[in-house]
Amino acid sequence: MLNLLLIIASSYVLGSFPTGIIAGMLARGVDIRTQGSGNTGATNSFRVLGWKVGIVVALIDIAKGFVATAYLTRIAVFQAQPLPFSVLFIASTLAAVVGHIKPIFAGFKGGKGFGTAAGAITGAYPILAPFCLGLFLLTLTLSGNVAFCAAVTMFGLPLFYLMLTRLFDVAWDPVILGFFILAFFLTLYAVRKKLVLYFKGEAELFRKVMIFKPKK
């Protein structure tokens, strides 16, 4: 139990690293929480700080989740009876994402946590990464809306998990599958307002990456 608490605490602190805020201060001398949507994640960084800084913020936020599941979970190696990997993965993922959303180093005002969640899943199940990334990019070029892309990608996540376990003849873990399904519904809840704006045609779009640009 002590190891689990240590993993959760470490993952939360790691997730709390205020990437967007630091990038805003260094690149433009602004507090990104006062610009755009007010979020500190990659999407608002792209919007406020430009694509170059946005990419850096995205990669670091992804790395936070990756380190949490790929490395911090190994703390459990030191206990006599290690906990199931599914428990360690879920605990570290949730802690890192909560840290990004409610960072202790930034007044508990962060981003949506999609990048950190993507990194956490990649750290534990790297084979899922190209499929999820491909779906995200495809949806982005068609919709131009990150919230919609996140919802679609998280919908595809449990399907990709089942497909790949079947393809490689590996037993699927019902706990992991259940967590991926839960993650989809949590994502829907997190972006519900932005999805409403998108379907009303009132959402801000990344038009430069869209294949079929809507008329203004």
Q: What pLDDT does residue 83 have?
A: 81
The pTM assigned to this predicted structure is 0.91
User: Domain boundaries in the chain?
Assistant: 1-124, 126-216
Contacts of residue 135, Cβ cutoff 8 Å, sequence gap at least 6: 152, 153, 156
3-class SS at 67? helix
Sort 209 into a burial class: Cβ within 10 Å, 0-12 / 13-18 / 19+. middle
Identify the pLDDT of residue 82: 72
Residue 127: the pLDDT is: 95
Return left, alpha or beta for 169; rule: phi > 0 is left, psi -120 to 50 is alpha, else beta: left
Confirm if 19 and 57 have CB atoms less than 8 A apart: yes
Q: Can you give the pLDDT of all 216 residues of the chain as single tens digits?
A: 768 888 999 999 999 999 999 999 999 999 999 998 889 999 999 999 998 999 999 999 999 999 999 998 887 555 556 788 899 999 999 999 999 999 999 889 899 999 999 999 999 999 999 999 999 999 999 999 999 999 999 999 999 999 999 999 999 999 999 999 999 999 999 999 999 999 999 998 988 888 887 776
215 is written with which tokens?
């008329």
- Indicate the length of the chain as a whole number: 216
What's the confidence (pLDDT) of residue 13?
96
